Chain A
Amino acid sequence: MNRALSLLYRPLPSPLHATRAGVAALWGLALMVAALLLYHPLALTALALALLGAGWAAGVGRALGSSLRMAAIWAIPIVAINVLVSREGLTVFARLGDLGPFGQGDLTVEALVYGAVIALKITVLVLITALCSLCIDPDALLRICRRLSFRAALTASLAVRMIPLLAADTQRIADAQRTRHGGLPEGRTAAGARARVALIGAVLAGSLDRAMDVAATLELRGFATAPRAPRLQRPWSRHDLAFAASAAAIVAFALLARLGGAAAFSAYPLVHAPLTPVLLVLCAALAFAILLPFADRRGVER
């Protein structure tokens, strides 16, 4: 639960935090588009490294690092499963023999590489999500959503707020149970299972009470009668402009790389991932476009 808390937004003095939520979200979206368009391992690696650099520049490097570790845990099974289930590729590095209805169990280098590329792509997407979660004010983002879909935004507001509340409640209840004499039964026994069910029940009961209190507060604040949220009139800051330009550049470079064939990649039947000077330039340009807005640190403190 502490991990969930560590991925929550906290206002910090950084250019990305100082950017209006709409533009920052757009920037995040541009990164997503780039990650989805690109398959070349070098381009994805450049993207991942640039994201880690952006996280460090935004002051959330440690939290982003823990996201990377979480993503790595998912990456290993993705690679393993692809190697096991893919029947494509020509370079066999291990033979498992006849697997009956599944055919010959030949493991190929191409399947391994393709699995790794997919895992890298997912890792990049996780990093983008974590960076946005850490640096974009959810209240400001939901405020934009309230103009579009009131009910959905209300639900999202409550969900966002309930995460730290439930994390704190769970921690408190777990601490209380640790202070019981002898503690609750643990392990894989029937008593342990019953104790865990009881504990989950206590957390759920507490969260329902909590939800009732929050709902009463919302009721009194007039949330149920709220009209469409008014549009905020705010002048564009240098960071808004910089990240908007960066978003446009990221999408442009990604499109150029994909459509121009500079970042061509195919895994089957043989791995084809040419390292061309154009690709190197594009990767450098992509990283530059991501990191450049972080260079200007004027007016980042709120």
Chain B
Amino acid sequence: MTVLSFHDVTYTYPGAERPSLQHVSFELAAGEFCLLAGLSGHGKSTLLRAACGLAPHFHGGRFAGRVQLAGLDTREHGPARLGTLAGALFQDPESQLVMSSVRAELALALESRGHGDAVVARGVEEVALALGVDHLLERSVHTLSGGEQQRVALGAALAGRPPVLLLDEPTSQLDPVAGDELIGLLRRLNQEWDVTIVLAEHRLERCLPAADRVLALGDGRLAHDGTPSQFLEWAAQAAPPLLTPGAQLFSLVGLAPPPVGVKQARAALRARCLLSSEPVSSAPPPVVRHVNMGNRRQGAPSLDAPPGSAELSAPPAGGVLARDLAAASPRSAASRMRRWAFRGSGAGAPALQMRGVWHELRDGPAILRGAELRLRPGESVALMGRNGAGKSTLLRHAAGLLAPTRGRIERAGRVALLLQTPGDYFVHERACREVSPAALARAGLAELADRNPRDLSGGERQRLALAIVTDGDEPAVLALDEPTRGMDRHAKAVLARELRERAARGQAVIVATHDPEFACACAERAVLLADGRAIADGPIAELLAGGWYFATATARILGGAEGALTPEQGAAVLARRAADRGQAERPPEDGGRAAEDGEGMASAAAAMASAAAAGLPAGGTRR
């Protein structure tokens, strides 16, 4: 049974020159889990808004074609009526919570539809239990964390038990743990309650395994419609920026079909004897105690770097300090960790040093608990951790926006801080009035000088905000708080390149991020915060290769083997393994050649292909 159908839909926002949707047609059956893929500004959000009637009823504009939701034509029925059939959850949970308490929020949709007291009470209880927010029922919504707010907003959208759920990047503000939990929850709703799900996301690797179908949008047109596996095969040819890291890894080593998820990728690699058949990790995720990372810059490959250009960093398994610390008592290890954190990464005056910084709220918790951090000039650090771990607070202290209640902060110069929402920086109506002409030119925005900053694209806004905070004398430290929220891969790659260039010029760069792929593209060192202090600090390859949640997709697939974080590094590892295997199975001259080829990223695919041709198990199709 079809629950959502688009028939030749073209939609243009009021005042827009180009349509945001162009001749879009598809049908969605009941119980399908459909993923919307596409770069920023290519029509995903508009499609969702058209599906629930906000476009055109709420936004206005020109609408052609027909959208039917559970048999209702959206031209004839408004969002209020369609809201009973489709729950919607958008990016910013704060704007979707309209009542003061969680209980009232969950009850609103039911009360608005005139349900009686008993139905409302039962509906609230059921949805609260289903989403695990029953303990929050009496809380005020403005006291909830981002993850809790997103769950409550989802509960409010689901309270009326709509058959369709429309979600627009609901995980963009969540940490990896909360994001995975939300996707798991959607999967359960889909499988157990038969809720049809339409989910727009940039981080496809997180959602593809749950999806039945993927719709890819390009310039407002439906560019592809197929299963996740078909989508990845299409994306490899037609839209590489949409490829997941796992699919990139397989593409680089010439394996097919591209894996939809980590499990499938591992199975495929095991079938080709490229991955041990033993479980990847049966122990809890390792705590990286490695706090001194020396003077190395090779561990920061790029998202956008062409194959072969990234340098592979393969730290020794376990790490030197991890071995040292393993022999020490926990107490002495902790004290040594503090000492190394003070010394940071090498000699010389630090660009920023935080010593035992506490931030204790009056009548509230301590957000930072003796945080230690030392950054040297030219160093780039990723600050990771769950929502509420203290990342933003730490950056605000670094920039002097907050004063520590205890502890000391030393700065070698100005600390420029880019906060989460670029729009907060814009107070003028023309971009040229926000920054100096030189800064505007450096940001590559000289041609847009007369545009209103709020009319710029997401990436351009981010660049302008960065230009605003770094305008004038060169800052000693550049701190960025969640700069990639809502960004597609291309925009992330551009930002990562900019940060690497700044670090190369001698600025210390520290980025708070939930995105492990971005972290390893722009940073050489990672600090994991929990409960207001650093619980791990070391080379990014070790921290992100060894975690469960805080790990890149490549590291998850390869089980952290040789510290490979990016598809390019992973391909090199697989190429070496293929070469080793080929060496063992083939005459010596072939194996020797394969082993030499395995050194470089560009030769990885060739080595893999030759190894596959030389006798890898069937199914390893060459590209």
Residues of chain B contacted by A213 (CB below 8 angstroms): 90, 92, 95-96
Q: Is the CB of B138 within 8 A of A221?
A: no
Q: Is the CB of B427 within 8 A of A222?
A: no
Instruction: Closest A residue to B95 by CB, please name it.
Output: A213
Q: Is the CB of A172 within 8 A of B112?
A: no
- Dominant SS at the A interface? helix
CA of A170 to CA of B104, assembled, Å: 26
- Selected contact of B80 from candidates A165, A184, A222, CB within 8 Å: A222
- Given the interface pairs A158-B98, A161-B99, A179-B419, the reply to whether A216 lies near B401 with Cβ below 8 Å is no
Q: Is the CB of A177 within 8 A of B112?
A: no
Q: Is the CB of B363 within 8 A of A62?
A: yes
CB distance from B521 to the nearest CB of A (A): 24
CA of A16 to CA of B81, assembled, Å: 38
- Given the interface pairs A139-B104, A198-B427, the reply to whether A10 lies near B111 with Cβ below 8 Å is no
CB distance from A194 to the nearest CB of B (A): 10
Q: Is the CB of A184 within 8 A of B427?
A: yes
Residues of chain B contacted by A139 (CB below 8 angstroms): 99-101, 103-104
B69 within 8 A of A: no
Q: Is the CB of B396 within 8 A of A182?
A: no
Residues of chain B contacted by A176 (CB below 8 angstroms): 419, 421, 424-425
Q: Is the CB of A181 within 8 A of B100?
A: no
Q: Is the CB of A216 within 8 A of B58?
A: yes
Q: Is the CB of A219 within 8 A of B54?
A: yes
- Given the interface pairs A182-B472, A219-B80, the reply to whether A164 lies near B142 with Cβ below 8 Å is yes
CB distance from A288 to the nearest CB of B (A): 30
Q: Is the CB of A232 within 8 A of B117?
A: yes
- Selected contact of A226 from candidates B100, B101, B111, B140, CB within 8 Å: B111
CA of A31 to CA of B382, assembled, Å: 56
CA of A178 to CA of B470, assembled, Å: 13
Instruction: Closest B residue to A138 by CB, please name it.
Output: B100
Q: Which of A47-55, A199-207, A250-258, A291-299 faces chain B?
A: A199-207
Q: Is the CB of B101 within 8 A of A137?
A: yes
A214 within 8 A of B: yes
A231 within 8 A of B: yes
- Selected contact of A222 from candidates B84, B94, B363, B473, CB within 8 Å: B84
CA of A215 to CA of B59, assembled, Å: 11
Q: Is the CB of B113 within 8 A of A161?
A: no
Q: Which of A1-49 contact B (CB under 8 A)?
A: 5, 8-11
Instruction: Closest B residue to A173 by CB, please name it.
Output: B424
CA of A221 to CA of B468, assembled, Å: 39
Q: Is the CB of A223 within 8 A of B140?
A: no
B399 within 8 A of A: yes
Q: How large is the interface on A (under 10, 10 to 19, 20 to 34, 35 or more residues)?
A: 35 or more
Residues of chain B contacted by A220 (CB below 8 angstroms): 52, 54, 79-80, 82-83, 87-88, 157
CB distance from B150 to the nearest CB of A (A): 13
Residues of chain A contacted by B427 (CB below 8 angstroms): 177, 184, 195, 198-199, 201-202
CA of A225 to CA of B82, assembled, Å: 11
CB distance from B414 to the nearest CB of A (A): 8
- Selected contact of B104 from candidates A143, A168, A179, A202, CB within 8 Å: A143
Residues of chain B contacted by A221 (CB below 8 angstroms): 83, 98, 108-109, 112, 156
Residues of chain B contacted by A81 (CB below 8 angstroms): none
Q: Is the CB of B98 within 8 A of A214?
A: yes
Q: Is the CB of A223 within 8 A of B108?
A: yes
Interface centre among A158, A164, A168, A181 (most CB of B within 10 A): A181
Residues of chain B contacted by A218 (CB below 8 angstroms): 98
Residues of chain A contacted by B117 (CB below 8 angstroms): 230-233
A229 within 8 A of B: yes
A217 within 8 A of B: yes
Interface centre among A178, A180, A219, A222 (most CB of B within 10 A): A222
Q: Is the CB of B96 within 8 A of A140?
A: no
Q: Which of B150-184 contact A (CB under 8 A)?
A: 156-157, 160
Residues of chain B contacted by A215 (CB below 8 angstroms): 58
CA of A231 to CA of B115, assembled, Å: 11
CA of A178 to CA of B399, assembled, Å: 10
- Given the interface pairs A139-B101, A157-B99, the reply to whether A226 lies near B116 with Cβ below 8 Å is no
A187 within 8 A of B: no
CA of A137 to CA of B535, assembled, Å: 40
Q: Which of B384-410 contact A (CB under 8 A)?
A: 396, 399, 401
Q: Is the CB of B419 within 8 A of A225?
A: no
CA of A195 to CA of B139, assembled, Å: 38
Q: Is the CB of A205 within 8 A of B454?
A: yes
B615 within 8 A of A: no
CB distance from A165 to the nearest CB of B (A): 6
- Given the interface pairs A11-B138, A205-B454, the reply to whether A181 lies near B471 with Cβ below 8 Å is yes
B62 within 8 A of A: no
Residues of chain A contacted by B115 (CB below 8 angstroms): 230
Residues of chain A contacted by B419 (CB below 8 angstroms): 172, 175-176, 179
Q: Is the CB of A217 within 8 A of B142?
A: no
Residues of chain A contacted by B81 (CB below 8 angstroms): 222, 225
Q: Which of A148-193 contact B (CB under 8 A)?
A: 157-158, 160-161, 164-165, 168, 172-173, 175-182, 184
- Given the interface pairs A220-B52, A220-B88, the reply to whether A302 lies near B80 with Cβ below 8 Å is no
- Given the interface pairs A161-B99, A172-B424, the reply to whether A222 lies near B469 with Cβ below 8 Å is no
Instruction: Closest A residue to B94 by CB, please name it.
Output: A165
A101 within 8 A of B: no
B65-81 interface mask toward A, CB cutoff 8 Å, 1 = contact, 0 = none?
Answer: 00000000000001111
B284 within 8 A of A: no
Residues of chain B contacted by A100 (CB below 8 angstroms): none
Residues of chain B contacted by A238 (CB below 8 angstroms): none
Q: Which of B468-485 contact A (CB under 8 A)?
A: 468-473
A224 within 8 A of B: yes
- Given the interface pairs A161-B98, A179-B401, the reply to whether A5 lies near B142 with Cβ below 8 Å is yes
Q: Which of B38-70 contact A (CB under 8 A)?
A: 52, 54, 57-58
A227 within 8 A of B: yes
Binding site for A on B (CB under 8 A): 52, 54, 57-58, 78-84, 87-88, 90, 92, 94-101, 103-104, 108-109, 111-117, 120, 138-140, 142-143, 156-157, 160, 363, 396, 399, 401, 414, 416-419, 421, 423-428, 454, 468-473
A-B CB proximity, top 3 nearest: A213-B95, A139-B104, A176-B424
What are 29 A-B interface contacts by the 8 Å CB criterion?
A8-B100, A9-B140, A11-B101, A11-B139, A137-B104, A139-B100, A140-B104, A143-B111, A157-B99, A175-B424, A176-B419, A177-B425, A179-B401, A179-B416, A179-B469, A180-B425, A181-B414, A198-B427, A214-B96, A217-B96, A218-B98, A220-B157, A221-B98, A222-B84, A223-B108, A225-B112, A230-B115, A232-B117, A233-B117
Q: A165-B95, A177-B424, A213-B96 are in contact. List 7 more A-B contacts (CB 8 A).
A: A140-B104, A179-B418, A181-B470, A195-B427, A202-B427, A213-B92, A222-B113
Binding site for B on A (CB under 8 A): 5, 8-11, 62, 137-140, 143, 157-158, 160-161, 164-165, 168, 172-173, 175-182, 184, 195, 198-199, 201-202, 205-206, 210, 213-227, 229-233, 302
